[in-house]
């Protein structure tokens, strides 16, 4: 009983130290839809800078269209009006409807078509859903827009007409890219045409009259973007010049986690051999810290890894651990200050 009591107290203490548990995600993004980088109704067009350095997108789909046009580009996986893309489109419509009026959301009207340089305008966002309306024009503002919050913040931009972003940078502080949505009624255009490094994180989804989504990186700079869903139109991505274009929310690597892409799972438990494995997902490239404690709260093992985006693993030498119960916290830190911590979890070592 004393061991159980100590273990319970340690769970409480470590949970307090851990703070907010791993980033909550909007429960509107179905797992099939989350497996796509790009999903369009009619057609997807990918254009890269040259055959030597082609534009590569991991997962692309079209439904009911079946057209994928590639010029110096490649799609690692393409779903042309198959079960996966059909289900993705259905989940896209569910996502669209759920973004319209989520329960308990705080609505902030920007009052103009131009996104201000610093968001939110009412201070840092806490947990929950915040909707910004009239965020239609983000062209040549000159100052990066910063959105500040926590891992449980969900941000929705509702754009009643078309949305455009040219040479503008959006920076997230404490907010996960997978919890940012742009619900655009008409066309969406995102452009970086100079030498600067810019980011447009989040999911863009539009749903009116075959309106299109277009992404262009044509200068010497770089542009990192999120996920693009056109429920009635086309999606085109063009990379030219000396710049680079990348997707910061790789398919299968963004919340909610898809099956097989778990948030801090340890196996095997009990560990009877020399190696135990932590399996988890990375929203984007970043650093991983895993801290393992024994039942009296002493730090037993520290693991520090640098990982790329997607499904990842880290290992621990369990042969060096005494038999017993261990607790661990997994922390992921991303560029821009985003950070998530898992809940306190446990595993068993048995030699």
The third-level CATH classification (topology) of the domain covering 2-22+263-349 is Immunoglobulin-like (2.60.40)
pLDDT of residue 297: 87
pTM: 0.66
pLDDT of the chain, 351 residues: tens digit per residue: 444 344 445 554 443 433 333 333 344 678 789 889 999 999 999 999 887 778 888 889 999 999 999 998 888 889 999 999 999 999 999 999 989 888 788 888 876 666 777 777 667 888 788 888 865 566 655 667 888 887 778 899 988 888 888 888 888 888 888 889 999 999 999 999 888 888 888 999 999 888 999 999 998 888 889 999 999 999 999 998 788 888 876 554 333 333 333 456 777 777 887 888 887 777 778 899 999 999 888 999 999 999 887 667 889 999 999 998 999 999 988 876 778 888 788 888 987
Find, among 209, 208, 213, the residue nearest to 227 by Cα.
213
Go through 131-147 and write b for each residue having 16 or more CB atoms within 10 A of its CB, e for each that does not. Answer: bbbbbbbbeebeeebbb
Residue 92: both structure tokens together: 């896209």
Decide if 133 contacts 106 (C-beta within 8 A): no
CA distance 238 to 49: 8
pLDDT of residue 13: 47
Q: What are the domain boundaries of the chain?
A: 2-22+263-349, 33-247
CA distance 281 to 253: 6
Find, among 347, 303, 298, 302, the residue nearest to 323 by Cα.
347
What's the CA angle centered on 250, arms 246 and 251, to 5 degrees? 140
Integer CA distances (angstroms), 340 to 180, 235, 281, 289, in order? 16, 31, 11, 10
């Amino acid at each position: 009983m004393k061991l159980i009591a100590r273990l319970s107290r340690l769970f409480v203490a470590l949970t307090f130290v851990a703070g907010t548990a791993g980033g909550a995600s909007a429960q509107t993004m179905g797992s099939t839809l989350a497996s796509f980088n790009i999903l369009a109704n009619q057609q997807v067009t990918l254009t890269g800078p040259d055959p030597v350095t082609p534009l590569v997108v991991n997962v692309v789909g079209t439904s009911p269209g079946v057209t994928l046009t590639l010029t110096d580009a490649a799609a690692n996986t393409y779903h042309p009006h198959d079960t996966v893309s059909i289900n993705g489109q259905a989940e896209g419509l569910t996502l669209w409807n759920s973004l319209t009026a989520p329960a308990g959301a705080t609505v902030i009207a920007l009052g103009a078509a131009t996104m201000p340089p610093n968001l939110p305008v009412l201070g840092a966002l806490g947990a929950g859903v915040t909707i910004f309306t009239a965020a239609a024009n983000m062209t040549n503002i000159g100052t990066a827009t910063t959105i500040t919050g926590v891992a449980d913040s969900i941000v929705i931009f509702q754009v009643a007409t078309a949305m455009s972003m040219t040479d503008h940078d959006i920076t997230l502080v404490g907010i996960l890219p997978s919890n940012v949505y742009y619900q655009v009624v008409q066309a969406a255009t995102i452009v970086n045409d100079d030498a600067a490094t810019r980011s447009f994180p989040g999911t863009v989804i539009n749903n009116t009259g075959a309106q299109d989504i277009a992404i262009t990186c044509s200068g010497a700079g770089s542009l990192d973007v999120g996920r693009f869903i056109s429920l009635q139109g086309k999606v085109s991505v063009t990379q030219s010049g000396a710049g680079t274009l990348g997707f910061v929310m790789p398919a299968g690597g963004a919340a909610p986690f898809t099956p097989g892409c778990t948030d801090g799972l340890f196996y095997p438990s009990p560990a009877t051999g020399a190696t135990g494995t932590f399996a988890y997902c990375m929203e984007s490239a970043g650093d991983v810290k895993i801290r393992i404690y024994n039942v009296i709260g002493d730090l037993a093992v520290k693991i520090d890894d640098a990982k790329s985006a997607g499904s990842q693993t880290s290992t621990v030498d369990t042969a060096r651990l005494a038999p017993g119960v261990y607790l661990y916290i997994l922390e992921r830190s991303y560029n821009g200050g985003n950070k998530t911590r898992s809940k306190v979890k446990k595993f068993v070592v048995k030699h």
